[in-house]
Amino acid sequence: MSKNFLKFKSYYEKGLYTKARLQNLTGKKLGITAEEYEQITGEPYEPES
């Protein structure tokens, strides 16, 4: 589990973070993994093209 997973999940559930924001954080050093993105949003991670 990434260091900030629970914090970002909480922010998403409270409406403070959007899917777009989580997508931007996915794969970043202090962000989340693609698997964690899917756990939080319920949708598979698809990198922006």
Please report whether residue 47 resides in a domain.
no
Please report whether residue 27 resides in a domain.
yes
Residue 45: predicted pLDDT: 97
Please report whether residue 48 resides in a domain.
no
Please report whether residue 9 resides in a domain.
yes
Q: Which residue has the higher pLDDT, 49 or 3?
A: 3
* Sequential DSSP letters for 5-35: HHHHHHHHHTTSS-HHHHHHHBTSTTSB-HH
Residue 9: predicted pLDDT: 98
32: CB partners within 8 A, 6+ apart: 2, 4, 5, 8, 22, 25, 26, 40
Considering the chain, what percentage of its residues have pLDDT values greater than 70?
A: 98
Number of domains in the chain: 1
Please report whether residue 15 resides in a domain.
yes
Average pLDDT over every residue of 39-48: 94
Please report whether residue 49 resides in a domain.
no
Q: Which domain holds residue 36?
A: 5-41
Q: What is the pTM of this model?
A: 0.91
